[in-house]
């Protein structure tokens, strides 16, 4: 349960304009995951006493954020040994003389198998648990028993699990998934019945993805543990994972950014020890390669200069120029595709946006022509790229058909959307004030004709305002209308 003090901090974050994924980072814990819906409920006053709780003072929030950035707040509580006898026994409940059953049933953290086979379906469960909260795979538990009921402990019928070398399991997991899930192997006894246990940790670098075809696992598969099932991940859950990872990265970078602000960009550079250089994105200073390999991080306040200790020696001239490579974003999300289209920008490799659309998205309307042009592709090349991608056949066909039809996103506007469109065409300065108005404008943008004489920057800015106005809305339709409207702008701006 989210405490009152945390609710006050969340409400202060909302007032500051922080995004849900960013807020989620501060309150998710191993023992208490907080889904994105909780923040929307707090925003609307629907969660517990949230309607009566005042936002924390901005100074209080800043202290909380600074403490997080400095590591003064314990984010992850100390947890018990997941393979401790008492911890494992707590997963089960006794239902009769000598009969034990999984106490909470198969859940987001527990999957049961009656037997173990090295090439069995337990492998996908490992990835699924690593991508969610982590948890247990239990061998020797019958999924269904007509007499005794479901999830009864029957014990393993052979010693295949007990005899296998954990190194063999590690090799199989490592060769199938990247990044590699971490796990531990154990057992729990119920009289003469033995239950084999694999405990999987939540992976900090999730999502864990399949590297190759392996049985019913396909290359590129991302599995996620749902109650009672290990399935291919749904788009909304994947987006949450990526947003959380972005938030973690931002939080890790924040102390460095704070220091950069204190120094000023003219007095600071980033040390890239792999490439042996200091750079601020515009200027670079080369470091002696041998020296770069010996440099280590020094705890603040503990630097003591000693004779013979490696000193920073600059080699060659400082290179200054405007042709330094731009810093690129590493993870692309749907929000990135929309915002970077609106900003007429590309913070990642354009190919990464296209791959996200075709291989990860659920086929929603997205402005892919913009990124194809940045990648140097015309429509024919883009269709060939889509067909050769690793996306699902239905998604590949959907995007190929859209590119083949230059007006696929067009939809005649009527009613209120038509009225909004007329105001836009007349040159009126239009601004949505509610999510509903943003959705109506989005539907209006779908009806724009190719001959419209309005600056692309104006239309981009309007679409951006619509996205902001619809953010956090309980109705997904508003966002769908706006995304299709943006896809229509993409068709108009980048048609051949």
Pairwise pLDDT comparison (24 vs 306), residue with the higher score: 24
C-beta of residue 350 within 8 angstroms of C-beta of residue 371: yes
Q: What is the mean pLDDT of residues 151-167?
A: 89
Residue-by-residue DSSP string for 202-249: PPTTPPPEE-S-BTTB-TT--EEEETTEEEEPPHHHHHHHHHHHHHHH
CA-based radius of gyration for the chain: 27
For 369-395, write each residue's pLDDT tens digit.
999 999 889 999 999 999 988 778 888
Q: What is the mean pLDDT of residues 426-436?
A: 89
Pairwise pLDDT comparison (322 vs 42), residue with the higher score: 42
Instruction: Catalogue the long-range contacts made by 288-297 (C-beta closer than 8 Å, 24 or more residues apart).
Output: 288/313, 288/315, 295/271
| Predicted local confidence at residue 312, as pLDDT | 47
How far apart (Å, rounded) are the C-alpha atoms in residues 207 and 35? 16
For 222-276, write each residue's pLDDT tens digit.
999 998 889 999 988 888 888 888 887 777 777 777 777 777 767 777 776 566 6
Q: Measure Cα distances from 423 to 433, 434, 444, 461, 491 in Å.
A: 15, 17, 10, 15, 21
Read off φ and ψ for residue 110, nearest 5 degrees. Answer: -135, 130
C-beta of residue 103 within 8 angstroms of C-beta of residue 93: yes
End-to-end CA distance of the chain: 54
pLDDT at 341 over 50: yes
Of 144-153, 181-190, 390-399, 485-494, the poorest mean pLDDT is in 144-153
Q: Confidence class of residue 407 from pLDDT cuts 50, 70 and 90?
A: very high
CA dihedral (66, 70, 75, 77) positive or negative: negative
179 preceded by a cis bond (ω within 30 of 0): yes
For 12-58, write each residue's pLDDT tens digit.
999 998 888 788 788 876 556 676 677 877 888 877 778 888 899 98
Three-class secondary structure assignment of 309-361: CCCCCECCCCEECCCCCCCCCCCCCHHHHHHHHHCCCCCCCHHHHHHHHHHHC
Tallying the residues shown for the chain, one arrives at 496
Of 18-32, 149-163, 347-361, the poorest mean pLDDT is in 18-32
- Nearest residue to 56 (alpha-carbon basis) of 3, 1, 15, 2: 15
How far apart (Å, rounded) are the C-alpha atoms in residues 315 and 317? 7
C-beta of residue 377 within 8 angstroms of C-beta of residue 385: yes
Q: Confidence class of residue 310 from pLDDT cuts 50, 70 and 90?
A: very low
Q: What is the mean pLDDT of residues 80-102?
A: 84
How far apart (Å, rounded) are the C-alpha atoms in residues 105 and 37? 25
Q: What is the mean pLDDT of residues 310-328?
A: 42
Pairwise pLDDT comparison (399 vs 44), residue with the higher score: 399
How far apart (Å, rounded) are the C-alpha atoms in residues 195 and 188? 5
How many whole angstroms from its chain centre is CA 89? 34
64 preceded by a cis bond (ω within 30 of 0): no
pLDDT at 11 over 80: yes
Read off φ and ψ for residue 459, nearest 5 degrees. Answer: -65, -40
This prediction has a pTM of 0.44
Burial of 201 per CB tally in 10 Å (0-12, 13-18, 19+): middle
pLDDT at 199 over 90: yes
pLDDT at 277 over 80: no
Local structure of 271: helix, strand or coil: strand
Pairing of strands 92-96, 99-102: antiparallel
Burial of 429 per CB tally in 10 Å (0-12, 13-18, 19+): exposed
How far apart (Å, rounded) are the C-alpha atoms in residues 212 and 219? 4
Per cent of the chain over pLDDT 70 is 83
| Predicted local confidence at residue 393, as pLDDT | 86
Q: Measure Cα distances from 12 to 26, 50, 66, 472 in Å.
A: 13, 12, 15, 16
Q: What is the DSSP letter of 287?
A: B
pLDDT at 466 over 70: yes
| Predicted local confidence at residue 273, as pLDDT | 59
Domain-by-domain residue ranges, the chain?
Answer: 1-79+234-265, 85-232, 269-298+311-327, 334-404, 415-493
Which CATH fold would you assign to the domain 85-232?
A: 3.30.950
Could you count the other beta carbons within 10 Å of the beta carbon of residue 438?
27
């Amino acid at each position: 349960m989210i405490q009152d003090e945390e609710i006050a901090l969340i409400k202060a974050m909302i007032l500051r304009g922080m995004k849900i994924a960013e807020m989620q980072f501060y309150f998710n814990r191993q023992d208490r995951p907080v889904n994105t819906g909780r923040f929307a409920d707090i925003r609307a006053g629907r969660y517990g006493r949230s309607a009566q709780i005042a936002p924390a003072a901005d100074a209080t929030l800043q202290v909380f954020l600074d403490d997080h950035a400095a590591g003064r707040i314990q984010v992850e509580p100390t947890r018990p040994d997941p393979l401790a006898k008492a911890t494992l026994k707590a997963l089960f409940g006794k239902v009769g003389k000598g009969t034990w059953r999984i106490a909470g049933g198969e859940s987001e953290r527990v999957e049961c198998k009656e037997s173990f086979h090295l090439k069995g379906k337990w492998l996908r469960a490992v990835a699924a648990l690593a991508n969610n909260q982590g948890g247990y795979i239990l061998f020797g538990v019958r999924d269904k028993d007509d007499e005794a009921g479901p999830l009864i402990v029957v014990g393993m019928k052979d010693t295949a699990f007990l005899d296998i070398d954990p190194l063999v399991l590690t090799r199989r997991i490592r060769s199938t998934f990247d990044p590699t899930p971490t796990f531990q192997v154990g057992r729990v006894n119920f009289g003469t019945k033995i239950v084999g246990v694999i405990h999987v940790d939540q992976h900090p670098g999730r999502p864990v993805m399949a590297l190759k075809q392996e049985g019913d696992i396909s290359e590129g598969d991302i599995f996620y543990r749902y109650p009672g099932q290990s399935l291919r991940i749904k788009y909304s859950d994947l987006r949450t994972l990526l947003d959380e990872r972005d938030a973690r990265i931002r939080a890790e970078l924040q102390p460095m950014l704070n220091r950069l602000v204190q120094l000023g960009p003219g007095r600071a550079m980033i040390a890239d020890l792999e490439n042996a250089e200091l750079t601020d994105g515009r200027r670079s200073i080369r470091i002696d390669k041998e020296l770069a390999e010996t440099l280590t991080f020094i705890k603040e306040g503990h630097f003591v200069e000693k004779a013979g200790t490696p000193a920073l020696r600059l080699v060659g001239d400082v290179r200054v120029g405007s042709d330094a490579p731009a810093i690129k974003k590493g993870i692309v999300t749907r929000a990135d595709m929309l915002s970077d289209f609106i900003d007429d920008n590309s913070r990642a490799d354009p190919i990464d946006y296209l791959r996200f659309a075709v291989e990860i998205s659920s086929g929603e309307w997205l402005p892919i022509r913009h990124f194809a042009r940045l990648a140097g592709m015309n429509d024919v090349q883009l269709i060939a790229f889509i067909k050769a991608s690793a996306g699902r056949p239905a998604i590949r066909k959907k995007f190929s058909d859209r590119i083949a039809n230059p007006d696929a996103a067009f939809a005649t506007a009527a009613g209120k959307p038509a009225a909004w469109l007329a105001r836009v065409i007349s040159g009126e300065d239009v601004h949505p004030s509610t999510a509903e108005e943003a959705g109506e404008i989005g539907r209006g943008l779908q009806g724009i004709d190719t001959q419209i004489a309005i600056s692309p920057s104006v239309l981009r800015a309007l679409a951006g305002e619509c996205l902001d106005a619809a953010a956090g809305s309980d109705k997904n339709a508003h966002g769908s209308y706006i995304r299709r409207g943006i896809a229509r702008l993409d068709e108009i701006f980048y048609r051949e």
